Amino acid sequence: MEDTLQITINKTLQSRVQNLDYNNIQFAREYSDHMLVTDFKGGEWENPEIIPYGNLSLSPANPAIHYGQSIFEGLKAYKHANGKISIFRPKANYNRMNVSAKRMVMPHIPEEIFMDGLTELLRLDQKWVPDVDGTSLYIRPFLFATDEFIGVRPSQDYKFMIITTPVGAYYSKPVKVKVETHYTRAVKGGTGYAKTAGNYAASLYPAMLAQKDGYDQLIWTDGQNHELIEESGTMNIMFILNDALVTAPTGDTILDGITRDSVLTLAKDWGMKVEERPLSVKEMVEGLESGALKEAFGVGTAATIAHIEVIASDGIDYKLDESGRVFSQKMLKALTDIRLGLAEDKFGWNYYI
């Protein structure tokens, strides 16, 4: 890459945005007109290009396909009533992506490629940012190996890309989750904290079994004894227990969620008691039985704040009453207001394009 970043822009001849039905946006059904692409070759990053969204041509010997050397991020852009567009905490995603890259032996992504690339892409595709209640533009940066070689070793070459897609709610209604005590998502010393493809692939089979039984997602427990609550595949998980906000501490088995951090930061700012500590399934079940556990919810970029209505543990369905959702409703509104510029952005989370 040259000293100053040059982004080549090759615009689509035919935008598809007029086909977007802003009043009927589901999760990631359509992809915006353009995408950012850049290669890491011969130990150097090439200048990025923004090109029309389309398919890729890959070698059948691509190591990301064979061995999963692939990482990604998820963040969102919002349209404010005055027409301004902001992205929520993109530098936090940038930093986390490089943490994942390190674990997966992939090259460090330069900040200007990620941030300037993202900004240019969003400026070009800003009509794709929906402004209907509950919608946003989901941004998916990803990095994957591109060598043509099926030996097991870190790839030498890579491709970094960003695609975007208008989204509504990931979970359209409160979710039913099941505590998983047989299968394992992550173990100490493993890749659980990295946003890498294999973590998601490994979760599909146990999640499918739970879905057959009528649950939407799992609550993962520690890989050693299956006694401690970790996270829920697509989101971190939090509880209101004895009037405190309780969530598992991050570590090498739990994703360091940016929504998780935002919720904890706001809760502390409100003077709420916040406990980042190991929480056992036993303590959670006791709280559900006694009524000391009033709320359970997932927090994530795609999921936003996903209310949990049922937690299944050891074959028993514990129901959480809708009337208990006081903190999670207040938090959802507070985060939405900050993201849409309707409330003070005290922590400087909105990045305007």
- Residues in touch with ligand COI (CB under 6 A): 74, 234, 300-303
Which is nearer to ligand COI, 207 or 302 (by Cβ)? 302
What minimum distance in Å lies between the beta carbon of 236 and ligand COI? Answer: 10
CB of 256 to ligand COI, least distance (A): 12
Residue 188 Cβ vs ligand COI, minimum distance, rounded to whole Å: 22
Least distance (Å) from ligand COI to the CB of residue 200?
6
The token pair at 57 is 């041509």
Give the closest residue to 102 by CA, choosing from 174, 175, 193.
193
- Residue 4 CB neighbours (<10 A): 7
Reference 20, options 170, 137, 142; nearest CA is: 137
Place of tokens 């697509």: 234
Distance, in Å, from the CA atom of 239 to the CA atom of 242, rounded to the nearest integer, reads 9
Closest CA to 45 of 141, 115, 113, 140: 113
Nearer to ligand COI, 260 or 294 (CB): 260
Closest distance to ligand COI from the beta carbon of 234 (Å): 4
Q: How far is the CB of 342 from ligand COI (least distance, A)?
A: 22
In the complex with ligand COI, the residue whose CB is nearer, 35 or 71, is 71
Smallest distance, ligand COI to C-beta of residue 346, A: 23
Name the residue nearer to ligand COI (CB basis): 38 or 234.
Answer: 234
What the block records as the tokens of 274 is 């916040």
Tokens 């992506």 — which residue?
Answer: 97
Q: Which is nearer to ligand COI, 158 or 170 (CB)?
A: 170
Kindly tell me which of 171 and 327 has the beta carbon lying closer to ligand COI.
171
> Which among 106, 121, 109 has a CA at the least distance from the CA of 31?
121
CB 17 within 8 A of CB 137: no
Query: Shortest approach of ligand COI to residue 201 CB, angstroms?
Result: 11
Consecutive H or E run containing 39: strand 34-41
Residue nearest to ligand COI (CB): 74
**Which of 164, 313 has the CB closer to ligand COI?**
164
Do residues 76 and 136 touch, judged by C-beta distance below 8 A?
yes
Query: Which has the closest alpha carbon to 340: 80, 83, 85, 127?
Result: 80
Label the pairing between strands 70-72 and 85-88: unpaired
Residue 294 or 307 with smaller CB distance to ligand COI: 307
Strand 85-88 relative to strand 75-79, pairing: antiparallel
